[in-house]
Amino acid sequence: MSKGLRHVVVVGAGPAGLAAARAAAEAGARVTLLDAADGLGGQYWRHLPAARPAGREHVLHHRWSTFGELSGALRANPAVTVVESAQVWSLERPDGGIRLNVLVGEPDAVGRAVLVLEPDALVLATGAHDRTLPFPGWQLPGVYSAGAAQALAKGERVAVGRRVVVAGAGPFLLPVASALLWTGATVVGVHEAAGPGALARGWLSRPWELAGAAGKAGELAGYVGELARHRVPWRPGEAVVAAHGDGQVEAVTIARLDERWAPVAGTERQVEADAVCVSHGFTPRLELAVAAGCALSPSRFVVVDDAQATSVPGVWAAGEITGIGGADAALAEGAVAGTAAAGGDLGVVRVAVRARARARGFAARIEAAHGVRGGWVRWLRDDTVVCRCEETTYGRVREVVELTGSHETRSVKLTSRAGLGPCQARMCGRTLQELLGDAPGGDSDAGGTAPGVDRRPLVVPVRLGDLASLPSTSASTSP
Amino acid sequence: MTSQRIAVERDPVEPGPDRPLTIWVDGEPVTGTAGQTIAGVLLGAGRRQWRTTREGGAPRGVFCGIGVCFDCLVEVNGLPDVRACLRRAQDGDVVADQGAPPSGGSLPEVTS
Amino acid sequence: MIERVDVAADVVIVGAGIVGAACARALARAGARVTVLDRVAAASATSAHGEGNLLVSDKGPGPELELAKVSLRRWAHLADELADELGPLFPSIEHEAKGGLVVVTSADGLDGLRGFAEAQRAAGVEAVEVTAEQARELEPDLAPGVVGAVYYPQDAQVQPVAAAEALLASARRAGAVVRTEVEVTGPLLGDGGRLTGVATTRGEVSAGAVVVAAGPWSAEVAERLGARIAVRPRRGMVLVTTPMRQRVRHKVYDGDYFAATQSAGAELQTSAVIESTRGGTVLIGSSREQVGFDDRLSTQVLAQLARRAVAVFPFLARTNVMRSYLGFRPYMPDHLPVIGPDPALPGLWFATGHEGAGVGLAPATGDLLAAGMLGLAAAVDPRPYAVDRPTLRPRVAHGEALA
Ligand SMILES: Cc1cc2nc3c(=O)[nH]c(=O)nc-3n(C[C@H](O)[C@H](O)[C@H](O)COP(=O)(O)OP(=O)(O)OC[C@H]3O[C@@H](n4cnc5c(N)ncnc54)[C@H](O)[C@@H]3O)c2cc1C
Ligand SMILES: Cc1cc2nc3c(=O)[nH]c(=O)nc-3n(C[C@H](O)[C@H](O)[C@H](O)COP(=O)(O)OP(=O)(O)OC[C@H]3O[C@@H](n4cnc5c(N)ncnc54)[C@H](O)[C@@H]3O)c2cc1C
Ligand code: FES
């Protein structure tokens, strides 16, 4: 590998990371692309693994050919090293630099290979996971995040159920419903929490009739047509407010919501279903950005400038960790970030810069129309599980707050146990903060002003034996 | 069967032919095909729960499907805390419910 | 519009950590009108970033041990008192008198440990020497290399955040007022330069006396009030495993633990303290480094902790670590807390500098402070903890002995 070239490390091989890696290589850098998954593509281009190559993968994807071009270009470029199954588990800031600690091997295995990288420039493209607000019964088997249904349909060709209800908020529900139809499931309905009023404000009229974000509009319009062909009702201003069943989901309660997302009394109806897929938006995967010290916006995304540079010198960010704008935005931001990280000329990616501007408009519309409204708390009951790991209920959280008088997330976590389990509050952290009315930056760390529940120095669990066998000096910087 | 894998011959995506494998789940054989995750094999065979929670004894399986919720944790070949939705199944894998109450011979829980 | 806090109190306590909470409870129950101020939230700083070991095992004969012996007895009673007072729904402080086991892996280590235990026994500590076989009966999963151990039945643990919240709740019931997100910025001075309260970001609080219980930030708070104290931060990192079926029954330490606590070196020191919690996790603590308030992660430190833990319990190598966190112990150069008045600034009191033992020492600290302030009888001699004790006096001239 050529020495002396600027070494750009890209974390995440979704649309943003793939575009960043290619742009950085084209701008003349030596590039290492890391992803924890054992294949490229991220969430958007999740596909069957090499062990089960599909003849017609493209029917499930938009811009499948773009994925082929990007991954092909990267694999063919000798200046690019792609490392799959590469979990970045922590990021350190030795004086004047960045160090990435990586374990390469099967997920959660003992004895994975150690890789330590100290790049000249870092592009974070770690994406997001979907956020599901709790509701009574959401812990029953058969309730999935919408992303899970999508991932299982695309990556496993598994249908999560036969009669499936899709609910939550945002345009993402449409591709989820589509993917479910492609598994042969009956989609009973798609229930969008945002009411017609909010949708009109965010989208002018209807989600798929967008001005500006042409690509995304076309994609969404395609999904809408598909739902119509399958006679799947799309119902704004509604939510799944409870799931029922003995040991697994057998039915759900659907209710109309008011503008604030509070259920309207008397509108509840039960619908039989054997699976429910629910997602109310996305939570960016901020661990590495927080560890690097990147400034976050009040809405909890990584702050970037026009060149996708974060507040930390040497660190760029792209894709869903900078805002929820979909794959178009991710691709455009990735191209800009990769170019800038390599020290290239942004004039070369003018097209991407323009595409990004359009996509940002789209992201703002999503938030305006589908952003979580506080009334959802009204569908909770005292026995509703809030923290799935520790099984802490809403009633217990309220009780603890009342008894201790504390509204601070860290204290309430430690006294109610909510958020202390293996997922480390990835599922319930934001929910807890909203319930407590704690400022997003709460959960103060050592009394300082810290990024709250998004601070997780260990990005994923690591086997103690693997920690113990780390080399005692800062090690290899290859590849 | 609620969850299931789409039969190759009916799948519009036309996945490659099955290369069957068998994993052992709490002592029972479950078959899948090479390339599936452990969660994929289990869901594909109609099993949607494989963990019992520590506190409430409640059943759990996949929730997020992408490695962030840790609901799908299983013990694989004696190693606990493996995310079933991420780990590719290998023929002969022995999978166990890691949350199940301790069986005879193991140490008592620390109580008080 | 920010709500102001202007009030008058007998005592204002700066800091709502475990130490401030214990002081507030002791004073309020003795009849004082107490206001506790914290710039963040209660129980969210050092007291939420450490562990809850209540130890005699790591303390050699001397004033810290005397305070610890009293304090550990107090914790055992407090666990019941607080549960009775606050009711079954209040989060448990998780007091567990599970005992500690110090293990060593070399003959040299065993000699050192024996000598230490002998001296502790003379000072009234229960320190039972056990053979390697007996140690394995207590902890079946110990490493084969363990050659001997000392068992300390008095060692116990609490959950520090729940404990601090419980002490504060109890203090409130006795009339104390707790105000959070109020930062103390300066002094209110009266006749003759006496401290008569504090200025804060939300107004003024006048008081007969001010107690600085600001943990590792006590030096800064003291300075704002016009005083000095030599508290410095000493960083510690902790590893937390995922919940599991418990295989660690006591608190188990490798025999280096006391050596590290007695040292003042700034360089990194680790020695494993391994314990299980009621949540099913195993806590592995903790390192000691003097690096100021640097909160950057260091995998080298984590790796060292991991190595120590695996050396004691090999099975832990296969367990998952899901979290690490760090905190800053309020460290005094002579390893003793400061509890008592500041002769240089009338009206100012200290309850700080407990380093790695603030949770264990909190109840006795509160009692001692209240006794001093209200002129009551104290359970221990207060003089060793005075801020003007000889070991804290600056060495003004060459050759001046440290008493
Ligand atoms: C489950 C799921 C399914 C989705 N499906 C669709 C869809 O069908 N259509 C649609 O329009 N949008 C979908 N989305 C939204 C989607 O996130 C975006 O459209 C797009 O994928 C964002 O691209 P990205 O490059 O920012 O992030 P992602 O595509 O999320 O890529 C991030 C990558 O970073 C890797 N990564 C993260 N952290 C680390 C680490 N510490 N170490 C190593 N690697 C790491 C991840 O493995 C992942 O591959 C989905 C989202 C989710 C969560
Ligand atoms: C890793 C680690 C492990 C430990 N393990 C143990 C153990 O096992 N057993 C044990 O007994 N101890 C242990 N300790 C030590 C113990 O945590 C501390 O001694 C104890 O928490 C100190 O409590 P405190 O109330 O003095 O300080 P803190 O909890 O830090 O409280 C001080 C408070 O003062 C507030 N404050 C600061 N400045 C101002 C201002 N200007 N205005 C208003 N408020 C202000 C802060 O916000 C803070 O809330 C450990 C510590 C660490 C770091
Ligand atoms: S299903 Fe969420 S981690 Fe596997």
Q: What percent of chain C has pLDDT over 70?
A: 92
Question: Whole-number mean pLDDT of chain C?
Answer: 91
Residue from C178, C329, C339, C369 to probe ligand 2 pocket by mutation (most atoms less than 8 Å from CB): C329
Who has greater pLDDT, B108 or A379?
A379
pLDDT > 70? residue A403: yes
**Partner residue facing A53 (CB), from B16, B85, B87:** B16
Per-residue pLDDT band for A314 (boundaries 50, 70, 90) equals very high
Lowest mean pLDDT among A336-340, A455-459, A475-479, B19-23: A475-479
Calculate Rg over the CA atoms of chain B.
15
Encoding tokens for residue B2? 């609620």
Lowest mean pLDDT among A73-87, A192-206, B20-34: A192-206
Q: What pLDDT, on the 0 to 100 scale, is given for residue A396?
A: 96
| Cα A476 from Cα A116, distance rounded (Å) | 6
Tens-place pLDDT, residues C15-30: 999 999 999 999 999 9
Which residue's CA lies nearest to atom 4 of ligand 1? A43
What SS3 class is residue C202?
coil
| Domain harbouring C114, CATH code | 3.30.9.10
* C41 occurs within a structural domain: yes
Q: What pLDDT, on the 0 to 100 scale, is given for residue A207?
A: 53
Q: What pLDDT, on the 0 to 100 scale, is given for residue A231?
A: 92
A337 burial (CB, 10 Å; 0-12 / 13-18 / 19+) is: buried
Query: From A399, which residue of chain C is nearest by alpha-carbon distance?
Result: C89
Q: Which ligand has the shortest distance to the CA of A154?
A: 1
Best of C245, C249, C323 to disrupt the B interface (most B CBs within 10 Å) is C245
The full length of chain B comes to: 112
Per-residue pLDDT band for B102 (boundaries 50, 70, 90) equals very low
Best of B36, B38, B69, B73 to disrupt the A interface (most A CBs within 10 Å) is B69
B69 lines ligand 3 (CB under 6 A): yes
Tens-place pLDDT, residues A384-395: 999 999 999 999
| Cα A320 from Cα A322, distance rounded (Å) | 5
| Cα A220 from Cα C190, distance rounded (Å) | 72
- Angular region, A105: left φ>0, alpha ψ -120 to 50, beta rest: left
* Same-domain pairing of C41 and C122: no
Encoding tokens for residue C103? 């293990």
Distance of residue B104 Cα from the nearest chain A Cα, in angstroms: 25
Encoding tokens for residue A194? 């945002």
Q: Number of A:C CB contacts under 8 A?
A: 155
What SS3 class is residue A443?
coil
DSSP assignment, residue C375? T
* Same-domain pairing of C23 and C136: no
Contact A472 C303 (CB under 8 A): yes
Per-residue pLDDT band for A223 (boundaries 50, 70, 90) equals confident
Who has greater pLDDT, A163 or A55?
A163
- Measured between beta carbons, which residues in chain B are less than 8 angstroms from residue C246? 107, 109-110
| Cα A165 from Cα A187, distance rounded (Å) | 6
C179 lines ligand 2 (CB under 6 A): no
Nearest Cα residue to A159 out of B30, B12, B67: B12
- Measured between beta carbons, which residues in chain B are less than 8 angstroms from residue A388? 60, 63, 69, 71
Q: Which domains does chain B have, with CATH numbers?
A: 20-96 (3.10.20.440)
Q: Which ligand has the shortest distance to the CA of A335?
A: 1
| Cα A29 from Cα C388, distance rounded (Å) | 62
Contact C322 A424 (CB under 8 A): yes
C12, C38 contact by CB (below 8 A):
no
Task: Please say which residue of C277, C301, C331 terminates a domain.
Answer: C331
Q: How many CB atoms lie within 10 A of CB C76?
A: 15
* Same-domain pairing of C125 and C23: no
Q: Alpha carbon of C245 to those of B107, C207, C248: distances in Å?
A: 8, 51, 9
* Same-domain pairing of C344 and C261: no
pLDDT > 50? residue A11: yes
A458, A428 contact by CB (below 8 A):
no
Chains that touch C (3 or more CB pairs under 8 A): A, B
User: Strand ranges (DSSP E) for C242-276?
Assistant: 251-254, 269-276
Report residues whose beta carbon is within 6 angstroms of any ligand 1 atom. Answer: A 11-17, 34-37, 42-44, 86-88, 125-130, 147, 150-151, 172, 175, 285, 288, 319-320, 326-327, 330, 459; B 66
Q: What pLDDT, on the 0 to 100 scale, is given for residue C402?
A: 41
* Same-domain pairing of C274 and C138: yes
Tens-place pLDDT, residues A342-367: 999 888 888 888 888 877 777 788 88
Of all helices (H) and strands (E), which one includes residue A284?
Answer: strand A282-284
What SS3 class is residue A302?
strand
Per-residue pLDDT band for A451 (boundaries 50, 70, 90) equals low
pLDDT > 80? residue A114: yes
- Residue C322 C-alpha from the chain's centroid: 24
Encoding tokens for residue A320? 């869903």
What SS3 class is residue A124?
strand
Nearest Cα residue to A459 out of A86, A39, A174, A47: A86
Encoding tokens for residue C211? 């107690």
Task: Please say which residue of C282, C310, C331 terminates a domain.
Answer: C331
Longest dimension (CA), chain C: 68
Reported ipTM: the value is 0.93
Lowest mean pLDDT among A353-367, B76-90, C100-114, C192-206: A353-367
Question: Which ligand 3 atom lies nearest to the CA of residue B85?
Answer: 4
Who has greater pLDDT, A463 or C245?
A463
Q: For residue C315, report the phi and psi dihedrals to the nearest 5 degrees.
A: -65, -25
CB interface of A with B, residues 428-467, below 8 Å: 460-461
Burial A140-155 (b: 16+ CB within 10 A, else e): bbbbbbbbbbbbbbbb
Question: Which ligand 1 atom lies nearest to the CA of residue A459?
Answer: 41
User: Between β-strands A186-192 and A234-236, what pairing exists: parallel, antiparallel or unpaired?
Assistant: parallel
* Same-domain pairing of C137 and C174: no
- Tell me how far the alpha carbon of residue A216 lies from the centroid of ligand 1, in angstroms: 17
Task: Please say which residue of C331, C348, C368 terminates a domain.
Answer: C331
Contact A464 C242 (CB under 8 A): no
* Same-domain pairing of C166 and C301: no
Question: Which ligand 3 atom lies nearest to the CA of residue B84?
Answer: 4
> Hey, which CATH number is domain A132-280, 3.40.50.300, 3.30.720.200, 3.50.50.60, 3.40.50.2300?
3.50.50.60
Domain count, chain C: 2
C103, C149 contact by CB (below 8 A):
yes
Expressed as residue numbers, the domain containing C285 is 100-156+233-331
Q: Alpha carbon of C42 to those of A60, A168, B77, C16, C177: distances in Å?
A: 52, 36, 45, 5, 12
Per-residue pLDDT band for B52 (boundaries 50, 70, 90) equals very high
Those residues whose C-beta lies under 8 Å from the C-beta of residue C144, and which sit 6 or more positions away, are none
Per-residue pLDDT band for C265 (boundaries 50, 70, 90) equals low
Domain spans in chain A, listed from the N-terminal domain onward: 7-129+283-367, 132-280, 381-436
Residue from A43, A124, A462 to probe ligand 1 pocket by mutation (most atoms less than 8 Å from CB): A43
| Cα A427 from Cα A421, distance rounded (Å) | 10
Q: In sequence order, which ranges of A308-428 are alpha helices (DSSP H)?
A: 326-341, 350-370, 394-404, 409-416
pLDDT > 70? residue A476: no
| Cα C260 from Cα C275, distance rounded (Å) | 18
* Same-domain pairing of C338 and C291: no
Terminal C-alpha separation, chain C = 54
Contact C320 A461 (CB under 8 A): yes
C84, C169 contact by CB (below 8 A):
no
Query: From A108, which residue of chain B is nearest by alpha-carbon distance?
Result: B82
Q: Which ligand has the shortest distance to the CA of C39?
A: 2
Q: What pLDDT, on the 0 to 100 scale, is given for residue A203?
A: 67
- Tell me how far the alpha carbon of residue B67 lies from the centroid of ligand 3, in angstroms: 4
| Domain harbouring C356, CATH code | 3.50.50.60
* C82 occurs within a structural domain: no
Query: From B110, which residue of chain C is nearest by alpha-carbon distance?
Result: C246
Q: Which fold has domain A7-129+283-367?
A: FAD/NAD(P)-binding domain (3.50.50)
Tens-place pLDDT, residues C42-94: 999 999 999 999 999 999 999 999 999 999 999 999 999 999 999 999 999 99
**Partner residue facing C44 (CB), from A91, A410, A463:** A410
- Angular region, C344: left φ>0, alpha ψ -120 to 50, beta rest: alpha
Q: What pLDDT, on the 0 to 100 scale, is given for residue C2?
A: 44
Question: Which ligand 2 atom lies nearest to the CA of residue C353?
Answer: 26
Those residues whose C-beta lies under 8 Å from the C-beta of residue B42, and which sit 6 or more positions away, are B25, B30, B48, B50, B61, B84, B95
- Measured between beta carbons, which residues in chain C are less than 8 angstroms from residue A458? 321-324
* C221 occurs within a structural domain: yes
Encoding tokens for residue C56? 């005699």
* Same-domain pairing of C149 and C239: yes
| Cα A160 from Cα A384, distance rounded (Å) | 23
Q: What percent of chain A has pLDDT over 90?
A: 72
* C279 occurs within a structural domain: yes
- Tell me how far the alpha carbon of residue A130 lies from the centroid of ligand 1, in angstroms: 10
Q: Which ligand has the shortest distance to the CA of A45?
A: 1
| Cα A123 from Cα A309, distance rounded (Å) | 9
Those residues whose C-beta lies under 8 Å from the C-beta of residue C147, and which sit 6 or more positions away, are C104, C105, C106, C107, C109, C110, C132
* C68 occurs within a structural domain: no
Per-residue pLDDT band for C153 (boundaries 50, 70, 90) equals very high
Contact B15 A52 (CB under 8 A): yes
A126 burial (CB, 10 Å; 0-12 / 13-18 / 19+) is: buried
C40 lines ligand 2 (CB under 6 A): yes
Burial B3-37 (b: 16+ CB within 10 A, else e): bbbbebeebebebbebeebebebeeeebebbbbbb
* C3 occurs within a structural domain: no
* Same-domain pairing of C287 and C180: no
Those residues whose C-beta lies under 8 Å from the C-beta of residue C115, and which sit 6 or more positions away, are none
- Model-level pTM? 0.93
Contact B109 C244 (CB under 8 A): no
Per-residue pLDDT band for C266 (boundaries 50, 70, 90) equals low
* Same-domain pairing of C307 and C383: no
C215 lines ligand 2 (CB under 6 A): yes
Terminal C-alpha separation, chain A = 8
Q: What is the per-residue DSSP string for chain B?
A: --SEEPPGGG-TT-BPPP-EEEEEETTEEEEEETT-BHHHHHHHTT----EE-TTT--EE--SSSSSSS-TTEEEETTEEEEETTTSBP-TT-EEE-TTSPPPTTSPPPP--
Q: What is the per-residue DSSP string for C46-111?
A: GGGSS--EE-STT--SSHHHHHHHHHHHHHHHHHHHHHHHH-TTSPP---B---EEEEESSHHHHH
Query: From A388, which residue of chain B is nearest by alpha-carbon distance?
Result: B71
